[in-house]
Amino acid sequence: MHRIVVIGGGTTGTTAAFYARRTSRNCEIIVVEQERYPMYSKCKLPFAISGEVPAESPVEFLPELYERSMKVMLLLNTEVVEVDPSSKRVVPSADGRIEELSFDKLIAKEERHHVVGVQAAGASWQVDLATISMMHSAKVEDLAYLETCYAPALTSIWSPLSAAAQALLRKLR
C-alpha cells in the first residue's frame, strides 16, 4: 500500500490530501501540520478577530472528520524539520509520537517568493493577471519585471501589480 505524506495542512495541503483520497481508495494519507488547528479559512480571520463572525467559524473541517470521512490521518502540533528525498523519509518533531515517517509520495509547497495572493481593486485584468500568475507558480520577481501592454486609452503606463511586486521585492531583499 502506498503512503502519501503531505507537509502542511493549509488549504493547499488539505486539498491535495483529499484529492489523493478521491483518486485512490487504498493508499495511506498523512497530513503533517505544525499548528494546532486543522485547515481553517485565513480569509475569515479578520472577521473572527473583529467579532463579525464567531471565533471558531474559520475552522471549517473538524479534525475528527479527516479520519472519519476522508480516511486521512492528521498530525497536528507536528513540524517537519527534515526531508530526505533519497531515503524517502521525513522527520517530524515536537510531540514525539513519530520520530521518522517514510513515504512513497511526498507533497510539499515550495514557498520561495511564490505569489500566493493579491489584494486587488479596480481593473479586472489586474486580477486576471494575478490569478494566472498564481496558477503558474509565478514568483514576485516575475511580476515585478513583467512586460505589460501600454496602449493609451486601453491601459495605463503603470501596472499597479508590477509596482506592488517591486515594492515587495525591495522588502524581501
Ligand X SMILES: Cc1cc2nc3c(=O)[nH]c(=O)nc-3n(C[C@H](O)[C@H](O)[C@H](O)COP(=O)(O)OP(=O)(O)OC[C@H]3O[C@@H](n4cnc5c(N)ncnc54)[C@H](O)[C@@H]3O)c2cc1C
- What is the pairing mode between strands 101-102 and 105-107? unpaired
Residues 31-70, mask of contacts with ligand X (x by CB under 6 A): -xxxx------xx-xx------------------------
Helix/strand/coil (H/E/C) assignment for every residue in 127-140: HHHHHHHHHCCCEH
- Cβ(63)–Cβ(78) under 8 Å? no
Contacts of 94 (CB under 8 A, 6+ apart): 34, 77, 78, 79
The Cα 14–Cα 42 span in angstroms is: 14
Q: Which CB atom, from 45 or from 163, has the smaller least distance to ligand X?
A: 45
Contact between 77 and ligand X per CB under 6 A = no
Residues 137-156, mask of contacts with ligand X (x by CB under 6 A): --------------------
Q: Which stretch binds ligand X (CB under 6 A): 5-13, 60-68, 138-146, 155-163?
A: 5-13
Q: State the residues that interact with ligand X by CB under 6 A.
A: 7-13, 32-35, 42-43, 45-46, 79-80, 109, 116-117
